[in-house]
Amino acid sequence: MRIYILFCLLPVVLFSSCTRTRITEHSEWGKYYDQYGIKNACFMLRDNNHESIQYYNKERCLQRFLPASTFKIFNSLVALETAVAPDDGLVIKWDSVVRWRPEWNKDMTMREAFKVSNVAYYQEIARRVGPARMQHYLDTVKYGNMKMEGRIDTFWLNNSLQISADEQTGFVKKLYFAELPFSERSQRIVKTMMLQEQTPTYNLYYKTGTGRMGDKYIYWVVGFAERIEHFKEPEGSMNKSDSRNYPYFFAQNFEMPASDTTKDWFKARIEIVHEILKDYGAIPR
């Protein structure tokens, strides 16, 4: 009963009503983390097709953490809406500082910077947006705890701004349906920037994020999957295509000691997302 009441009271839940059958705990998803030796993890999945919530580790799903580079979704929306970026082709010159990822060390567009998660590019975007406008949109969207402490170019990395997996899924669901307080154009552009995998049977959109929390790293993946079903539409149908997309919204995070280099955690987080989405049927096996 406690789980049912808690999820129904959350403001980010977009359903008009909740029932027990719409909220399901999946303790069995723990096996996907156990195989990597991950102890502190959560996964939140919103099945739009059945108006249901599926989750692993309720307490952590509701706990806020720094968003790290998943904030690039929000940062991109603000940049487009304020015309700091006229479009996703905005080029920001490389400042000649050599950084640890070689692909960051060049001039690039916003779309390119999003794909390679160029921190320096988005720090410059945030500086151009400025604190007043950034805070306005944090408050308007009600993004996480809406706190912006410290410098304008580090607040999503320094544990000031925090957001939960539950809030992340609510955020990307609104983005998908263009229900955020941004123009349809801004939201459409950012959605296309999030597309990572495109196949005949599914599309997968997401943004990763990695943040330092003391002696640990948090690893995020936030986005949505579209399962594609192909069939012949009846004559006169409003849908003129012979396929339909069924969306599923998700957020995953887990933490590992910063000193643990036994596995490629960047790769592992994507593999786990695939396994859970396949387990649930959001994407085909």
CATH architecture for the domain at 9-14+21-280: 3-Layer(aba) Sandwich (3.40)
Whether the Cβ atoms of residue 82 and residue 130 lie closer than 8 Å to each other: no
Q: Tokens for 175?
A: 């983005």
Q: What per-residue confidence (pLDDT) applies to 26?
A: 98
Asked about 69 being catalytic, the answer comes back as yes
Q: Tokens for 84?
A: 């700091």
**DSSP class of 233:** P
Classified as helix, coil or strand, 148 is coil
**Residue found by looking up tokens 């995953």 in the block:** 252
Q: What per-residue confidence (pLDDT) applies to 1?
A: 38
Q: Tell me which of 69, 76, 117, 186 is the catalytic residue.
A: 69
User: Rounded to two decimals, what is the model's pTM?
Assistant: 0.90
Domain regions of the chain by residue span = 9-14+21-280
The per-residue pLDDT string of the chain (285 residues; one tens digit each, 9 = 90 and over) reads 334 334 444 444 443 334 445 999 999 999 999 999 999 999 999 999 999 999 999 999 999 999 999 999 999 999 999 999 999 999 999 999 999 999 999 999 999 999 999 999 999 999 999 999 999 999 999 999 999 999 999 999 999 999 999 999 999 999 999 999 999 999 999 999 999 999 999 999 999 999 999 999 999 999 999 999 876 666 666 666 677 889 999 999 999 999 999 999 999 999 999 999 999 999 999
Distance CA(34)–CA(153), nearest Å, equals 36
